[in-house]
Amino acid sequence: MKVLAGVRAAIIDLDGTMLDTVPDFHVAINAMRAELGLAPISQQLIANMVGKGSENLIRSVLALDYDAAGVEQHFEAALASYQRHYLAINGNHSALYPDVIAGLEALKAQGLRLACVTNKPISFATPLLHQKGLHGYFDVVYGGDSLARKKPDPLPLLTACEHFGLAPSAVVAIGDSSNDAQAARAAGCPVLTVPYGYNHGQAIHETDSDGIVDTLLEAARQIRLHN
């Protein structure tokens, strides 16, 4: 992976990359659906919808039961209900993926600066990072509503590069989905993907990245090998 030569920082995704948060989504979404008089849905169905921000998630969930006009009619109430339920249980059902802490420790030990860039609202992301002992590893955290546009737009990644004072070619993005890869390609960052996340129900091997790494610790090893 020659593209990793000269890497000095990493931008890491949250949901599906560091934390398995689908169980949290499952509880909050089904609580919201119950308020609307709708039947519960499965974790797997929700996993295929996660990753493009809360608004997209709630519209996708509502589209299971309503036509386009019905989705818009119920959207505001559904989003408010979902946000209320999610904040009440945020992190309670989530779990770290293997070697996340070891990977972050290794990246920091190699002198890399770290950013967390997620499409999760910042009001959800910040307490979740604190609860799981991850917040202290990151110089900066951007949520899906921190900037004018979210991934797959390159703006959040370019903003992180500017924060570090580094060219995008010196900042690797690490994520679990095509959102992360597309944003990295558009920003000019090298990108590594993990195979265990959500990726909108698609195989990660179909995503255009510079390599698939089994864990964040393996990502750290690959970066060290090339620097």
Q: Which residues are annotated as a binding site for Mg(2+)?
A: 13, 15, 176
Question: In degrees, to the nearest 5, what angle opens at C-alpha 103 toward C-alphas 209 and 16?
Answer: 55
How far, in Å, are 43, 138, 160, 222 from residue 22 at the CA level? 7, 23, 26, 28
DSSP state of 210: S
Active-site positions read 13
CA-based max dimension of the chain: 56
Place of tokens 């969930």: 61
Q: Could you give the 3-state DSSP secondary structure of residue 46?
A: helix
* Residue 45 to residue 210: CA distance in whole angstroms: 28
Q: At what angle do helices 178-187 and 155-164 cross, to 10 degrees?
A: 60
- Listed in order, strand segments (DSSP E) in the chain are 9-12, 19-20, 95-96, 113-117, 140-142, 171-175, 191-193
Q: Regarding beta strands 9-12 and 113-117, do their DSSP bridges make them parallel or antiparallel, or are they unpaired?
A: parallel
